[in-house]
Each structure stands twice: as C-alpha cells, then as structure tokens.
Chain A
Amino acid sequence: MARAEVAADQLDANVNAEAAAEAAALELPPGIVAQTLGEYLRGSFARIKSGQSGVLPVILGLLIITAIFGAISPRNVFLSPGNIVNLFQQSAVFMVLAMAEGFALLLGEIDLSVGYVGAVGGVIAVQLVQPTTTHWPWWAAIVAALLCCALIGALQGSLITVLRLPSFVVTLSGLLIFNGVMLILLLLGPFSGILSLVGQGPDLQVLYNLMWGTIDPVVSWIAMAVVVAVLALILWLGDSRRRRSGLVAPPASLTIIKIAMIAAVGIVVVAICDINRANTGTLEGVPYVIPIVLAVLGAWTVLLQQTKFGRYVYAIGGNPEAARRAGINLRSVRTWAFVLCSFTAGIAGLLYASLLSGVSNNFSGGQYVLYAVAAAVIGGTSLFGGRGKPLHGVLGGLVIGAIYNGMYLMDYPVQWEFIVTGVVLMLAVTIDSLSRRGATSGSVARV
C-alpha cells in the first residue's frame, strides 16, 4: 500500500520532470545545446514562438519598418543611399545613449539624467574649443568633457550606493540639475546661449567631423575587410578550440553563418556609404561616426561579457544577494556602472553636438533619455535587470532612428512621431515582461 503510493509519487515526479525538461528545452539558447544547424534553427524558432526575446525580433522589426517606409516614402527616398547614411548618423546618438542606459538597466536601476549629462559633456567640449575664448585643443576638450561626465556619474552613483537613495529619484534630480547646468554653461562667454561648431579653426573642425567627416572609400573598404577578418578569426578560432576540447560550442556551420552575416553587413554598409550621395559635387565614404559607435559597442561588449566587472554587473542585476554572498563589492560595482553610464552619455553628447554642429538651449534631454530607455528595451534589454547587451542598444537605436527619420520624410507632424515611438516601446516592454512572466511561471511549476 505504502509502496504503491511511493511508486505513484515517483511516477508523478517523473512526469513532472519530463514536462519541466520540455519547458526548459524551450528556454535554452539553442546555441548551447544544438549539435547541428537543423537543431539550432528548430530551437531558435521554438524560442521565438514562446516569446523569448533575442535579437531576432528587433531585426525583424527593423526590416518591417524599413520595408514600410521604403514603400510609402515619396520616390522611395527612405532607401536612397543619402538617407540611409543620414539615418545612421541620426541614430548614432540614440545608439550610444541606449548603450549608456544599458549599464543602469542591467543593474535593475534606471538613469534618467543621461540626456542632460550628455548635453553637459557636449557643451563643455564645444565651449573649450572655441577659438575666440578658451581655445583648447580638440583632444583635451574631449577628455575634459568625458571626465566631467564620469565625475557626474560617480557623484550620482555614490548617492545611490552609499546613501541608498533610489536611482529613479537621484537621477530625476540629476535631470533637472544638469538641465540647469547645461543652460549656465551655454551662457558662459560671448555666445548668448547658442554654441556653434561653425567657424574657423582645426579644433572646431575635428569635433564637427565626429559625425560628418568621412573616410576615403578605398580606405573604408580596406578597414572594413580588416575588421571583419579579425572578428572572423577570433570567432572561428575560439569556437573551433572549444569544439575540439569538448566544451559547449555552436556547430561549425553556425559559426560560418555568423561570420558570413558580419561580412555581409560590413559589405552592405560600406557599399552604401561609398555611393556618392551629394546632389552636387561628391560626398562619399563611411562617416567617422560609424567606427566610433562600433568602437563603443566593441569596448563595452568586451567589458560586460569578458571581464569580472561585467560578470558582476550581470550577477547584481540577476540576484544581488547571491552577488553579495559571493564576496562581490556591490557598492563599488554599482558606482562604477553609473560612472560608465554617464561617461558613455558624454560620448553621445559629443556626437549630438557634432550632428547639430553645436548645442543650443532648446536641447530636450528629457525626451532623449526616454528614447534611450526605449531603444535599449526595444533592442531586448530587460527593464528588470540582469538581461541585455550593448548590441541591443545599437539595434534599438536604429529602430528609433528609423521611425524618427521615416516620419520626418513623410512630413508627418512631430506628434505622430511621438505616438508611433510610444507604441513601439509599449510593444517591446510587453514582449519583455511576457517572456519574463513565462520564465517565472515555468520555474514555479518546476519546483
């Protein structure tokens, strides 16, 4: 009798375990269990169907947005080379700002001040290179601007970690304070609130070129080839070494497909940028801003994926108590994450100043920060901490930029641009919290 009960229990447990294993199989990234390409594709499909967000949904979304605007924009101007390069340049500010916000989001915190902190950085750099007043060399101005931003991050981060104030409130105050600081800085010197990069002077020109300077087409091709080759080599050597020593690794065909996709993106981007996009005269080559964004992306990806600091950021976002017991200094990791957030916002501010060739007092940092959060979340970064990559910020920034650019080309009034961006953000957050809920309810069922 009792034995029969135990047997029934055991059977029950087995059935549960099987159901759980099936549910778990859906949650696993296919790259770690698939032995062949077919398995990988089936695994990815199952994951997307169950609402697990990776980068595929945002790429799909990007393709849909591109197709729609490409079809309805007058004379298909949305897909003209000139506009695509323009789109990259406009999106760059969103991308870098979203990567900045990513540091806060990964911790499960938020930084509402990135917009104005970035603007403060931009204003400082533009002020310092003005030939009529301070006349600093461009590099010193950039270093000073970024250091100031990092310092602001350290200040806000310390308030959050030492005094344990909520990041929402600290950075909301930061949003107001640095809006004021930006306006004060703009009024310094004889510029009456509108700082311009237009004018004579090599240092002004360098800042202007961050966004608008172009790399010679031939050099563009060579540089792209070198970058792709190096990335391919690292990917291939790493994956094949792991395959040889029996560690978890994707199938060889998948590695090749990844490399092929990187190469394809590189070739397409350079090919588009190298078409002459000027109405009169010549304007061709890859704008500097693309390698700048890629450098930020590469640096922060390595930092977050391959260093102790990055691992700790993810651990704190996932389970702060686990991180604390593992002996991680939560305070210092959190503070540094806010430093990096503001520092990266400073880079975005420099790009913004360059895009508009100056900074004026009508910069709306409040709106930019919302776009930054939206871009990160649309790209697949979780609002609840512990999940996300710098790449998500770049892809999400491209989506926001595409909507912004497409609506502008269609001559839709700005109110519609707000509404469409809001709807897209809502969709992204819905997907994020649905997949999260799916994961949690699954694990409760499995205990």
Chain B
Amino acid sequence: MRRRHRRRLHRSQHLVINDGAAALGGAISQFHSRGLLVVSDTRAVENAAQPSAPQTAGEPLLKVRELDKHFGPVQALYKVDLDLPAGHVTALCGDNGAGKSVLTKCIAGIYQLDHGQIFWDGHPVHIRSPRDAARLGIETVYQDLALADNLDIVQNMFLGRERLRQGLLDEDSMERAAKETLASLKVTTVRSIRQPVASLSGGQRQSVAVAKAVMWNSKLVMLDEPTAALGVAQTKMVLDLVRRLRDRGLAVMVISHNLNDVFEVADRIAVLYLGRMAVQGPISEFDRQSVVEYMTTGGLGLQTKRAQPTSGGN
C-alpha cells in the first residue's frame, strides 16, 4: 500500500518535469503555440547551463510531500505536495483561508509539520526554525516587510547579520555589499543607500526587502503578496525584480491574489483549495478562468477536461 503510494508520487513528479521537457522538444499539446511558454523555457535552458542553477534539469530545489498541518481540531493543510524548481517563478494561489500562509510558514520554519516531508536538493530536511531555513538558503519576504523605518537601507539589509571589524560595525564593507546587491538587481531608483527606510516609497521598500532576502546567497525566496498596496508603476518595478531573481537561477515562490501579476510573472502555478493542493503545473496549462475555478471550487468541474499533474487528496 505504502509503496504503491510512493510510486504514484514519483510518477506525478515526472509528469511535472516532463511538461517542461516536452515543451522544449516542441512536441506537445494545444498550449505550445503560446509565446510565454517558449520564452520561459528558453530561460530554463539558459539557467540549466548556469552552475548556480543545477536543479532545473533534474529534481526541483524544494519538494514538499504529503504535508499535514493542523491547529487543534482545524486541519489547515492536508497531504499537500508542492514543487519549487530553481530558475522558475511559482505562483501560489488560493482563496482566503486556503492555507497559503500556513504552507509558507511551514517551509520558512515558523510552523512545524505534523506529517509529511520536505526535500531540499533531493535530501530530506527538517526545518525547525527560521534559522534552519536561512541556513539552507530559504528567505521569506512577508507582507509587512519587517523593515525598521528609522534605520537606513544598509542597516536594514544587514540587520541581525552585521559585519564587524575589530569588534565595531564595518560600515564601509556593509555599504559596499549592499550597493552591489542593489545594483545587481537593478534597484536604481533610491536616491541614497544611506537614506532611512521611512523615506522610501512602497515599491522601493519592497525592493529593499527583496534585496535583503537575496543578499545571503539564498536559493529560494518566498514573497507574500509582494504587489498588494502598490501602484501600477511600482508593481511593474517589483515584478521586474522577481524576474531578475529567476534569471539568477533562484527558485521564487510568489503568493498572490492578483491573477494579472500571476500570469505576467509566473512560470508555474499551484492552487490551494481548503488546505488541499487543487492543482499545480506550468502556467501555460492554465488560463485565468480555470485558475479562478480551481481557487473557488477546487477544480471540480475541470477534472474531467484536464489531466492533473499532481492531485491533492486521494
């Protein structure tokens, strides 16, 4: 029984990867003609060539298998599977209370799993605290950003991991490193790297929070609603930043309600419905309507039409 289950998991995982591979071969389904798919797959090939992104070809960087989490009598997550491959942006969608935040916090080490297993680089890992997550290279940017308004950009980016020289803060080296990180992410709109965060716009704050997350050689960055409360121009700035992270070969997970953003930036999509993973797969297999359907009904009406890459329940 147990073994059979595992084999099925294996197969579903192959399915996920095969989608990409098949697209590369140029020999699949009706979705193939979409420009978006071609673009994203070219990128995947480029990333596969980079040493920093060894995961694109084989296993996903992070795999969640059969994750259960309950709070008292409330089952928040039920046998959830999730793949986060390197060099891809995965959008995690779902209605309010679907379990997006709980899943994120389980990966970030804030909550402990009740059952299930997380694989990092193919190896099973136990993430018991945010520190464990950080050690693996998992960084989370929460919606409230957690920046100290009274500190400047450099001070915020290094908060908790200050560099020292002879026991005192090494401001010069920290400023240089922060400057380099911001430049590499093309965050150029800030006037001075020494300005207090209180004086930044919403999009700039988001950029600083993301840069802070990226600076520590992180391999997986999870963004919680990064474009909520941002205007049009600022949203574009943040989405560009997300693309740059992917181009660097990072695995990116974006929690978002905003399907415009999801379809603009994501390569893969995963939809949670009432604590179960309703569906996940390449974005090319979805359109807005089907995502909404999965978010609101769990995909009851769609199951006959579409083969599901992974199924949430049994």
Are the C-beta atoms of B200 and A24 separated by less than 8 Å? Answer: yes
Are the C-beta atoms of A311 and B232 separated by less than 8 Å? Answer: no
A211 to B175 CA separation, bound complex (whole angstroms) = 42
Given contacts A241-B172, A325-B130, are A386 and B232 in contact (CB under 8 A)? no
Shortest C-beta distance, B157 to chain A (Å), equals: 10
A292 to B131 CA separation, bound complex (whole angstroms) = 43
Given contacts A10-B233, A17-B233, A241-B172, are A315 and B151 in contact (CB under 8 A)? yes
A6 to B235 CA separation, bound complex (whole angstroms) = 13
Are the C-beta atoms of A13 and B147 separated by less than 8 Å? Answer: no
Give how many B residues have a beta carbon under 8 Å from the other chain's beta carbons: 43
A242 to B169 CA separation, bound complex (whole angstroms) = 15
Q: Mark A286-322, 1 if CB is under 8 A from B, else 0.
A: 0000000000000000100011100100110111011
Q: Mark B60-86, 1 if CB is under 8 A from A, else 0.
A: 000000000000000000000000000
Are the C-beta atoms of A16 and B231 separated by less than 8 Å? Answer: yes
Chain A contact residues: over half helix, strand or loop, or mixed? helix
Smallest CB-CB separation from B175: which chain A residue? A247
Are the C-beta atoms of B155 and A311 separated by less than 8 Å? Answer: yes
Given contacts A20-B201, A24-B191, are A318 and B151 in contact (CB under 8 A)? yes
Is there a chain A Cβ closer than 8 Å to B218's Cβ?
no
Q: Mark A434-447, 1 if CB is under 8 A from B, else 0.
A: 00000100010011
Are the C-beta atoms of B231 and A28 separated by less than 8 Å? Answer: no
Task: Give the residues from 187 to 207 in chain B that come closer than 8 angstroms, CB to CB, to chain A.
Answer: 191-196, 198-202
Are the C-beta atoms of A245 and B191 separated by less than 8 Å? Answer: no
Are the C-beta atoms of A322 and B201 separated by less than 8 Å? Answer: no
CB neighbours of A323 from chain B (8 A): 148, 159-160
Are the C-beta atoms of A439 and B198 separated by less than 8 Å? Answer: yes
CB neighbours of B161 from chain A (8 A): 326-327
CB neighbours of A331 from chain B (8 A): none
Are the C-beta atoms of A308 and B164 separated by less than 8 Å? Answer: yes
Is there a chain B Cβ closer than 8 Å to A155's Cβ?
no
A275 to B148 CA separation, bound complex (whole angstroms) = 49
Partner of B193, one of A17, A248, A308, A327: A248
Given contacts A10-B232, A16-B231, A311-B159, are A32 and B194 in contact (CB under 8 A)? yes
CB neighbours of A28 from chain B (8 A): 191-192, 195-196, 199
Given contacts A32-B192, A327-B131, are A322 and B159 in contact (CB under 8 A)? yes
Q: Chain A interface residue count: which class? A: 35 or more
A21 to B192 CA separation, bound complex (whole angstroms) = 12
CB neighbours of A25 from chain B (8 A): 191
Is there a chain A Cβ closer than 8 Å to B229's Cβ?
yes
Shortest C-beta distance, A315 to chain B (Å), equals: 5
CB neighbours of A446 from chain B (8 A): 200-202
Smallest CB-CB separation from A388: which chain B residue? B150
Which residues does B use to contact A, with CB under 8 Å?
Answer: 130-131, 134, 142, 144, 146-152, 155-156, 159-162, 164, 167-169, 172, 175-176, 179, 191-196, 198-202, 229-234
Beyond known contacts A16-B231, A315-B155: 10 more, CB 8 A cutoff:
A9-B232, A13-B231, A32-B192, A248-B175, A319-B147, A319-B149, A323-B148, A327-B161, A443-B199, A446-B202
